[in-house]
Amino acid sequence: MKKKIGFLTLIWVGFVSQSLIWAQEHGSHKPKDAPHTNSANEHMHHSSVQEWAQSFESPERDAYQQPEKVMRYLGNIRGKTIMDIGAGSGYFSVKLAAKGAKVIAAEVSEEFQSLLNTRIEKEKLKNIALRKIRFDDSGLRAQEADMVLIVNT
Q: What is the DSSP letter of 132?
A: E
Q: What are 38-92's pLDDT values in tens digits?
A: 444 444 455 666 665 566 666 677 787 889 999 999 999 999 999 999 998 899 9
- pLDDT (mean) for 127-149: 95
- pLDDT (mean) for 5-20: 50
Burial class (CB in 10 A: 0-12, 13-18, 19+), 64: middle
Phi, psi (degrees; rounded to nearest 5) at 13: -60, -40
